[in-house]
């Protein structure tokens, strides 16, 4: 192994040590330390050797990175630095169980670690070898691990478990790059690397995360390792370095016209031992006009920290610099920039396929500066379709099985920005075909994923929700309201936002006759969505019916343009108090006029009800009673907000009325003549007897 390189092998404290020298050393003593499995999947190791890095290994196998072995590892590092003139900090490679060693060592001796490369890392011994989650148990390794860590049977609070050391890594701002397969059943990413990633993102520290689609625990690393090697090799040589707190294209949530942005960083000048002061300002990106003038940063550990209050608007640029004096000037030493940021309102996109967006027809919905998206990759960018693009995703839980298309939400955000006059941020979290169970607190992977995302973006303005087709198709319409209400309450509780608004779409249609026996399940879900808006605080609903379809169940791209504007008007009216007609006609009451006639009264009619098509009027409404269905022979608009239903039979004393309850809705509904908004569908509404 590595026979073409000069190697040194020795025993230290009873363990075998190895140092492999590059043929052409860099000159600064840079080295990588393989925690385990020297020579396995060593694409990056070999490329770094070619670039002049040393490669070292200390064979403390079968110790699972436990605290008892860390002093010996520290002794090894001191020895090789002195004997081989290596750098004072190492880059640790933690492959698989090597992640246990890497994280525990970095947490114990952060001053001796430069960076971490974690590849399908074990970070929680209860995930592997314990197998208490989704992963596979390794009985022999688990018994040994328990003995070494001193874990008693049933004890899940081992404080030396590396998963509990992540905050120490963050506190010392140790850079990490993650690589994992999304089909890893041995060391599941969701129980290991993703928890580290989520904590780093929550702390405002963006870390690269490379998810390999369809790959299990093996093979490790990347056969083309340039991205890894470039990240490992990169060393900012000079200037004020912004490490955490902001990304290019990020939209910050404003509160009362301001966003609080906390940046952390450090000053780097390898040629000088002087201590620099860091300075930061914010400027209008278009013309360079200062929005927040130069501010001196406070000292924070071995770096700096600053809290900025940035006014609503943008796009802005954050600039930094450093100087030896107490003030900066135009010739102060360089610093990092964060570009294209804005301060406005941020909305989360959640739900299933029509929220992810499956509009496949060709229609223009152009991206726009000031409408930005936090993508599944964990990075901000200018928003464009498809929103649920899973390229480089760090959220495999919400990766769709097929390519998505246009959604309603770019149209939504552009309309909102046009009225409000400031940037809008969108956060993608939807998944096609997802059930309400996946969005619930008790075991729902999409719920956990949503909470991780929301924790990294404090003060979300609202959630944009479109979901329910799965429950309708499964015949679970009767319980939808209760479970949706529970989900809303849980999200508000866990987000610490008791008045977090939910803006929902009422289901459109399903053109599939195979489910004809469940056609009224769609009516039940639509009614649950209508009732949620009537009874739950800060929940609002708009109809999704009326537009064309891309297929049996997905709204077309052209329909999504309309739906986005409908949702934007609802948000403007309810959230911002704008004087705008934003609600659809909504059934207020159903009362018998006589024993063959029912009068429906509607709320939220801006001008008057209108019905422009004679097609299938009598099939929109109906009555159910005593297991029998009654269809009206005539439907007539009899007032600005009233519709009269006439039946040929005498109606039972106790009956319930429905409107647009079918699975498929191949007909026009009554609309508000001012807004052209169709009425909300309803189902199972008790008909009152005339007094």
Summarize pLDDT for 518-559 with one digit per residue, the tens: 678 899 999 999 999 999 999 999 999 988 888 888 889 999
pLDDT at 207 over 80: yes
What pLDDT shows up at residue 243? 85
Matching CATH topology for 238-335 and 586-686?
yes
Which DSSP category does 488 fall into?
H
Give the range among 208-217, 318-327, 391-400 with minimum mean pLDDT.
391-400
Q: What is the pLDDT of residue 413?
A: 96
The whole-chain average pLDDT of the chain stands at 91
The pLDDT tens digits for 550-598 are: 888 888 999 999 999 999 999 999 999 999 999 999 999 999 999 999 9
What is the pLDDT at residue 273? 58
pLDDT on residue 548: 87
> Would you say domain 238-335 falls under CATH 1.10.10?
no
E strand map for 189-237? 209-212
Distance of alpha carbon 272 from the chain centroid: 42
Give the Å distances, CA to CA, from 197 to 34, 41, 118, 129, 193.
21, 23, 11, 21, 6
Condensed to tens digits (0 to 9), the pLDDT of residues 367-388 reads 999 999 999 888 899 999 998 9
Q: Which CATH architecture has domain 7-233?
A: 3-Layer(aba) Sandwich (3.40)
- The predicted-structure confidence for 449-506, as pLDDT tens digits, reads as follows 999 888 888 889 999 999 999 999 888 999 999 999 999 999 999 999 999 999 999 9
**Quick one: pLDDT at residue 238?**
79
Question: Which residues lie across from 34 on neighbouring strands?
Answer: 57, 93
How many residues in total does the chain contain?
A: 691
- Averaged over 98-105, what is the pLDDT? 96
C-beta atoms surrounding 293 within 10 Å: 9
DSSP assigned state of 365? -
**Residue 349 — φ and ψ, nearest 5°?**
-95, 120
Q: Please state at what angle helix 445-455 crosses helix 480-495, rounded to 10 degrees.
A: 30
CATH number of the domain located at residue range(s) 586-686 in this protein: 2.60.40.1220
Report the distance separating Cα 276 and Cα 273, nearest Å. 9
Residue for token pair 């943008």: 314
Residue 146's closest CA among 132, 165, 167, 164? Answer: 132
State the alpha helices, DSSP H only, in 456-609.
Answer: 469-473, 480-495, 519-535, 557-574
**Which of 6-10, 33-37, 204-208, 589-593 shows the lowest mean pLDDT across its residues?**
204-208
CATH of 344-574, one of 3.40.50.150, 3.40.50.1110, 3.90.1150.10, 3.30.70.520: 3.40.50.1110
Tens-place pLDDT, residues 144-174: 998 998 887 767 766 688 999 999 999 888 9
Average pLDDT over residues 87-99: 94
Domain boundaries, the chain: 7-233, 238-335, 344-574, 586-686
Which residues on neighbouring strands pair with residue 351, listed in sequence order?
466
Helix, strand or coil, per DSSP, at residue 243 = strand
* pLDDT average, residue stretch 194-200: 93
Q: What are phi and psi of 470, to 5 degrees?
A: -65, -45
- Cα angle, residue 517 at apex, residues 513 and 624 outer, rounded to 5°: 120
SS3 of 165, please? helix
Residue 485 to residue 535: CA distance in whole angstroms: 10
Confidence of residue 206 (pLDDT cuts 50, 70, 90): confident
**Structure pTM?**
0.76
Name the phi and psi angles at 212, rounded to 5: -95, 115
Q: Any residues with CB less than 8 A from the CB of 126 and at least 6 apart, and which?
A: 132, 133, 156, 158, 161
Could you report the per-residue pLDDT of 619-646, keeping only the tens digit for each?
789 999 988 989 999 899 999 999 999 9
Give SS3 for 568.
Answer: helix
**What is the pLDDT averaged over residues 252-264?**
94
């Amino acid at each position: 192994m590595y026979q073409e390189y000069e190697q040194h092998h020795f025993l230290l404290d009873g363990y075998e040590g190895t140092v492999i020298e590059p043929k052409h050393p860099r000159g600064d003593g840079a080295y990588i330390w393989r925690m385990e499995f020297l020579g396995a999947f060593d694409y990056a190791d070999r490329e770094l050797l070619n670039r002049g890095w040393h490669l070292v290994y200390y064979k403390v196998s079968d110790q699972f990175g436990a605290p008892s072995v860390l002093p010996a590892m520290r002794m090894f590092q001191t020895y090789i630095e002195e004997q081989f003139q290596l750098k004072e900090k190492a880059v640790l490679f933690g492959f698989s169980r090597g992640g246990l060693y890497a994280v525990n060592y970095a947490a114990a001796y952060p001053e001796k670690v430069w960076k971490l490369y974690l590849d399908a890392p074990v970070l929680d011994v209860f995930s592997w070898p314990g197998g208490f989650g989704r992963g596979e148990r390794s009985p022999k390794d688990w018994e040994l691990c328990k003995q070494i860590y001193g874990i008693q049977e049933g004890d899940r609070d081992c404080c030396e478990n590396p998963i509990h050391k992540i905050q120490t890594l963050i506190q010392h701002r140790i850079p990490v790059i993650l690589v994992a397969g999304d089909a890893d059943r041995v060391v599941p990413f969701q129980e290991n690397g993703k928890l580290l990633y989520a904590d780093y993102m929550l702390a405002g520290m963006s870390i690269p995360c490379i998810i390999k689609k369809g790959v299990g625990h093996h093979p490790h690393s990347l056969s083309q390792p340039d991205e890894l090697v470039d990240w490992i090799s990169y060393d900012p040589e000079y200037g004020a370095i912004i490490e955490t707190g902001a990304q290019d294209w990020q939209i910050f949530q404003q509160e009362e016209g301001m966003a609080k942005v906390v940046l952390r960083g450090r000053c780097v000048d390898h040629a000088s031992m002087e201590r620099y002061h860091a300075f930061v300002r914010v400027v209008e990106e278009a013309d360079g006009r200062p929005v927040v003038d130069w501010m001196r940063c406070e000292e924070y550990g071995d770096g700096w920290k600053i809290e900025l209050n940035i006014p609503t608007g943008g796009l802005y640029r954050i600039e930094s610099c450093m100087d030896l004096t107490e003030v900066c000037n135009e010739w102060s030493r360089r610093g990092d920039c964060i570009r294209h940021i804005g301060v406005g309102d941020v909305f989360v996109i959640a739900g299933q396929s029509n929220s992810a967006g499956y509009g496949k027809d060709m229609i223009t919905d152009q991206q726009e500066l000031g409408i930005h998206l936090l993508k599944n990759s964990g990075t901000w960018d200018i928003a464009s379709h498809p929103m649920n693009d899973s390229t480089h995703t760090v959220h495999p839980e919400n990766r769709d099985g097929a390519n998505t298309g246009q959604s309603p939400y770019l149209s939504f955000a552009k309309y909102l920005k046009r009225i409000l006059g400031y940037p809008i941020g969108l956060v993608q979290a939807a998944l096609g075909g997802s059930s309400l169970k996946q969005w619930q607190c008790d075991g729902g992977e999409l719920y956990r994923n949503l909470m991780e995302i929301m924790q990294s973006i404090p003060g979300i303005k609202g959630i944009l929700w479109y979901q329910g087709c799965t429950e309708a198709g499964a015949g679970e319409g009767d319980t939808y309201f209760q479970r949706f209400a529970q989900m809303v309450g849980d999200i508000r509780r866990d987000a610490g936002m008791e008045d977090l608004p939910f803006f929902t779409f009422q289901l459109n249609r399903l053109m599939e006759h195979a489910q004809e026996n469940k056609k009224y399940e769609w009516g039940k879900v639509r009614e649950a969505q209508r009732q949620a808006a009537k009874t739950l605080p800060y929940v609002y609903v708009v109809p999704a019916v009326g537009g064309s379809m891309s297929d049996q169940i997905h709204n077309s791209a052209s329909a999504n343009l309309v739906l986005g504007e409908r949702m934007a008007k609802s948000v403007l009216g309810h959230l911002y108090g704008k004087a705008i007609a934003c609600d659809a006609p909504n059934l207020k009451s159903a009362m018998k006029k006589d024993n063959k006639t029912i009068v429906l009264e509607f709320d939220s009619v801006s001008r008057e009800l209108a019905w422009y098509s004679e097609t299938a009027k009598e099939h929109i409404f109906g009555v159910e009673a005593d297991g029998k269905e009654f269809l009206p022979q005539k439907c007539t608009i009899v007032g600005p907000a009233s519709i009269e239903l006439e039946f040929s039979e005498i109606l039972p004393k106790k009956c319930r009325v429905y409107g647009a309850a079918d699975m498929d809705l191949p007909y026009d509904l009554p609309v508000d003549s001012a807004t052209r908004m169709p009425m909300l569908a309803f189902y199972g509404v008790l008909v009152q007897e005339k007094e």
